[in-house]
C-alpha cells in the first residue's frame, strides 16, 4: 500500500508544481502585456489626446473671441440707435408671441 500512496503523493506534487509554473507563466505574460499597453498608451494615445485638447482649447478661444466681438457690436449699435433697438426688440417679441399662437406659460389657458 505504500507504493500507491507514494504515487499519489508524487502525482500531487507534480500537479502542484505544474500549477505553480502555469501561475508564474500567466503572471509573466500579464506583466508583459501590461508593459505593452502602457507603451502603446504613451506612444500613441497620449499624443493624440494632447492634440485634441489643444484643438478644443483653440476652438474655445475662437468662440469666446467671436462672442465678445458680437456682443460689443450689438452694444455699440444699441448705443448708436436706441430707437431702432427698441423697435427690433418689440417686433421680435410680437413675432415670438404670434409663433407661440397665444399659448403662454405665465398665464395658462383656464379652459384646459
Distances from the Cα of 36 to the Cαs of 28, 32, 50, 54, 61, in angstroms?
12, 6, 20, 27, 37
Whole-number pLDDT of residue 110: 60
Among 7-11, 58-62, 76-80, the range scoring the smallest mean pLDDT is 7-11
Does 98 or 70 have the greater pLDDT score?
70
- Cα dihedral: 96, 98, 101, 102 (round 10): 90
Other beta carbons within 10 Å of 60: 10
> What is the spatial distance between Cα 95 and Cα 45, in angstroms, rounded to a whole number?
51
Q: What is the average pLDDT across 55-79?
A: 93
Q: What is the pTM of this model?
A: 0.44
Whole-number pLDDT of residue 14: 87
> What is the spatial distance between Cα 11 and Cα 2, in angstroms, rounded to a whole number?
14
Assess whether pLDDT exceeds 90 at residue 60.
yes
In sequence order, the 6+-apart residues with CB closer than 8 A to the CB of 85 are: 77, 78
Does 2 or 46 have the greater pLDDT score?
46
Round the average pLDDT of the chain to a whole number and report it.
Answer: 86
User: What confidence tier does 108 reach under pLDDT thresholds 50, 70, 90?
Assistant: low
C-alpha cell at 24: 508564474
User: What confidence tier does 111 reach under pLDDT thresholds 50, 70, 90?
Assistant: low
> What is the spatial distance between Cα 19 and Cα 91, in angstroms, rounded to a whole number?
83
Question: Read out DSSP for 79-95?
Answer: HH-HHHHHHHHHHHHHH
Amino acid at each position: 500500500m505504500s507504493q500507491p500512496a507514494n504515487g499519489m503523493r508524487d502525482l500531487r506534487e507534480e500537479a502542484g508544481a505544474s500549477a505553480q509554473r502555469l501561475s508564474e507563466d500567466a503572471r509573466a505574460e500579464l506583466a508583459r502585456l501590461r508593459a505593452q499597453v502602457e507603451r502603446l498608451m504613451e506612444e500613441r494615445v497620449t499624443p493624440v489626446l494632447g492634440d485634441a485638447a489643444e484643438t478644443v482649447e483653440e476652438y474655445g478661444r475662437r468662440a469666446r473671441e467671436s462672442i465678445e466681438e458680437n456682443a460689443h457690436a450689438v452694444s455699440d449699435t444699441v448705443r448708436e440707435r436706441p430707437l431702432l433697438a427698441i423697435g427690433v426688440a418689440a417686433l421680435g417679441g410680437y413675432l415670438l408671441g404670434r409663433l407661440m399662437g397665444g399659448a403662454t406659460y405665465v398665464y395658462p389657458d383656464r379652459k384646459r
